[in-house]
Structure 1
Amino acid sequence: MEPPALALHTENLTKTYRTGFWLRQKVTSLNQVSLTVYGGETFGLLGPNGAGKTTFMKLVLGIIRPTGGGGTVLGRPLGDRLIKARIGYLPENPYLYESLTGWECLELMSTLHQVPRSVQKQRLPELLDLVGLAQQAARKKTLRRYSKGMLQRIGLAQSLVNDPDLVLLDEPMSGLDPLGRYQVREIILQLKSQGKTIFFNSHILSDVEHLCDRVAVLARGELLAVGTLDELLGSGQTYQVQGRGGTADRLAEWIDNLAYQGGFWQGQLRINLPEFVQGLADTEAELLNLNLERQSLEEFFVQQLRQRGYTQSV
């Protein structure tokens, strides 16, 4: 099998700003970040506020230029103007013309992307239906009368008017209520089913865990970890066990964090499962419950920050 195509690749990407009255102070927003995103995958970039997530996305889009390093987007160098026609982008706080209706907004964006009128007639209704704004009331309502969730959805629709190969979403669930977050998640899952490459920043870890094929953790401009959830969190070979009978001394040989009271016990299995089951068979202990578990993405995220001394970010 051929390896998957690279949608995005960066090598030692660095961005340093100069600050202060005489611009003599340097602040490194991104420090030698090397990252690869494959075609057709959904990739989540995690990090606390100020981690450098938006800076990374602006560098990918060519809005700002790197201080060091480089990379490619869909096979072209960062900042290449020609590649922008194949990218969709939703900023964290989309600035849209409030006097336009939802339909007019998409019409304007399609025209700016030079989408033919004949294609617009078919694509715009499909996009409004995708984001749940196909009703006449929503199409004709001006954007100043849209709720936060509706603005986020029309913003997502405008990022898709050019039928992009790569979709970049900056905090797409930011400020949304639970229903709004659910709706945006469903839209991203639909785009994923269409084979789109989706890259999004977020600090809402439950959404990332639900949606992404791979994730990366960024803090203070440095990349701390990259991988699939199984690679980062483990494949789930930790067992929580509960039972009764036996002796605490014998059970402590097999179980970590053993709690033993009134003949009942529970804890975390230390040895492999077949060995444990065989050991129980040789005692009077009885296994009542067995659960396969692994740490959550939130626990992993906090652990990564604390291990590297980012206590103020947690």
Structure 2
Amino acid sequence: MSFAIYWATIALLFWLVLDKFIDMPFVNAKHGSRCWFVIGSMQFQPSEFFKFAYIVALAWHLRYRSNYRNLTSLIPPFILTLFPMFLIYLEPDLGTVMLMMPVLLSMLFIAGAKVKHLLVIILLAAMAFPVLWLGMEDYQRMRVSSVLLQNKIDGGPSWLRTKVEKHPALASLLGVNPERLRNWDIGAGYQLSRSKLAIASGGFAGQGYRTGPFIKYKFLPDRHNDFIFALVCHQWGFAGAVLLLCLYAMLIACSIEIAASSFDTFGSYIAAGFAVLFSIQILINISMTIGLIPITGLTLPFISYGGSSIMTNIMSIGLINSIGRSR
């Protein structure tokens, strides 16, 4: 059953990728990404459900010690990860791609895989990054580069951005159009700069619920999903952000406690896997909102708008609760 759900989501991901080559029914392309199925009035994102299926399938595989204690035994879990990761990359959904490898390495470490084996794999992944970079679309490379190209604290352009404007070869390597850089704040960097401005304008206590310019006016694109954390800070300030992080910490701590106290290895790995998934997803979303990592399109669990994301999160919590009740 664990792998049946996994392969069902793989089939849906493969269907989405096929739409790049032939016109497939039920596929809805948005902003160049083929991430959504549309059936009548219902729309859902298979990559969100894949996160759930992936954790369960990986936990099922890792319940046997022989499946992770030597280097060759790590090949199957990496196949379980890399094949769907490649499909999701082709959609493209960079956020989910960034999420999968840390989840895999964390679950292998929790299961008891040798650290030296994991370090070898991390090194190989780092060596493969140039190939991944060259295979990215221009807008994806621009998103990654925007972390280095954003303004300094005083509002002026960064050192790298100044160099890129003067050297076309460097701009080409980073996938950046020098002409677009001159209008960076109102072009490629608009979303990030407005996000940081929304966070800063919240101060300590915030502007108040449903008040403030970033609520009344559409200054921040995608404010209801990917950049919802900026609105949390805008409305409730630093205090509200800390409260939200404390709630997340409680959720993750409870998941870890259930994982540690469960007598069932399979259930323990599931709870630990979802704890890692939530932790990394929260970290990535907040980091991209404040400009520490590239904008990836990854939602903030339980807060961002999106039916597929909310449903997957609820399913995850339900499964964790079931594991906890069966201890």
The verdict on a shared fold, with TM-score over 0.5 as the criterion, is no
Larger % of strand: which? 1
TM-score (norm 2): 0.29
**Max radius of gyration: which structure?**
1
- Please identify which structure carries the higher helix content: 2
* TM-score normalised by L of structure 1: 0.30
